[in-house]
Structure formats: structure tokens, C-alpha cells
Homo-oligomer: A and B are copies of this chain.
Amino acid sequence: MPTDTTDTVDSARRPLTRERVLEGAIGLADRIGIQPLTIRKLADELGTKPMTIYHHVENKDAILDGMVDAVFAEIDLPPSELDWKQAIRARCLSARAVLSRHSWATPLMESRTTPGRATLRHHDAVIATFLRGGMSMATAAHAYAIVDSYVYGFALQEATLVTDAEMELTDVAEAILASPEMEEFPDFAAFTVHHVLQPGYDFGSSFEIGLDLLLDGLEAMVDEQASD
């Protein structure tokens, strides 16, 4: 019987590898968050012992680096068959979906200064798309910084909301409203009551609105640049 995994637990006995470590770390972080993610818990998750992990990654920071790079790998590259605006739009929607799925990833981007291969490939593709659209290098740099700021910032705010979501956003809002000093902040209170607490409130619905504002504005800049 030629099965190659002959052990009890499903994913347990095939030999540990760097990929399986990252895979397990990402899955665990998705479930319990990044701060409670410890080497010991990760070892349990992988059906192994803490020190075994260190034969496949240098240290915990390397795991975090790898996780961030793996998240980048999940984001669709801008499709080359679309014009630059639609291509960037598509990759931004993908990025938001991915970062929303891994809400621990966005704040992590800060501490990780050494980009991985997937990250580099991704940046390369985005820049190429802007250049292909006729932007100068300087304009592409601005566009790149601007669009990514928006995407990451939105993801960062969504991450906060997702964390709260354990206790159902509306409960949080009500708890905040219940605090006595809220009378000092009438507009914020009204905002919470009349907007956040409305059924069907969806923070994410703002995303495409702002994204299109930016893309339309950038497009106008390109046209202007072309007509010099």
C-alpha cells in the first residue's frame, strides 16, 4: 500500500519543513492572533516539539518575515491584460481581501525590514504596471506610495475592527457609548448611534470609494503629464 503518510494525525508525520512551519504559523495566527503565537504553541500545532522548529528556521523573527512574505504571495499580481488602472484596482481589491483574511499581517509589515522574494516580485509587478501606463518614474513612485498607503491603512483599520468583532462590533459600540464622558463628544456619539449601529453597516464598503478617488486622481495626473 503505497501511501506516503502512514501516521495517525492527518498532517502530522510528513517531515517538517520550512514551508510547513510557515503554513502552520499562518493558520495559527489566523485563529489566535499574532501576539499569542508562541513557538511552543506552534510546535503543538505542528505535532512536534519547540526545538525541532529551529532546524528549519533561524529564529522567531525569521518566521515572522516568512509569514509576511507568504501573505504577499497570496495577493494577486496586477493582471497584465488589463489597462493599468483596472489592473491596479484588481490587485488592490485582492490585497484588501488577503490582508483582511490575515488581520495580523498589516501591523507586522512595520517591523519586518528585509523583504522576501514574493514581496519583491509583487513590488516589481506593481511598478511595471504603473510604468506601462505611461507614468514617469517619479510619478510611478508617488502613485505607488499613495495607493499602498491607502490599502495598508484600510487594512490596518479593518484589523482593529476584526479584533473587536469577537464581541460583535455593536457591543463594543454600545460599551463605548455607555461610558459617562460620552456627553462631551456628541458628534462621535451620534456617529456611533446613527451609523455604526445601523443594521447592514459595512466598514469595508468605503474601500472602493476611496480607492477610485485615488485612481481617478492619478489618471488625471498621468493625462496631464502626457500633455506637457
Contacts and interface: CB of A to CB of B under 8 A. Distances in A.
A179 B68 CA distance: 19
B145 A210 contact: yes
A213 B217 contact: yes
Interface stretch (A10-18, A21-29, A157-165): A157-165
A186 interface: yes
Contacts of A155: 153
B145 A206 contact: yes
A123 interface: yes
**Most chain B CB within a 10 A radius of its CB, from A148, A160, A176, A184:** A160
A210 B157 contact: no
B176 A115 contact: yes
A187 B127 contact: yes
B150 A149 contact: yes
A203 interface: yes
A195 B136 CA distance: 11
Interface of A: 35, 103, 106-113, 115, 117, 120-121, 123-125, 127-128, 131, 137-138, 140-142, 145-146, 148-157, 159-160, 163-164, 172, 176, 181-182, 184-188, 190-191, 194-196, 203, 205-206, 209-210, 213-214, 216-218
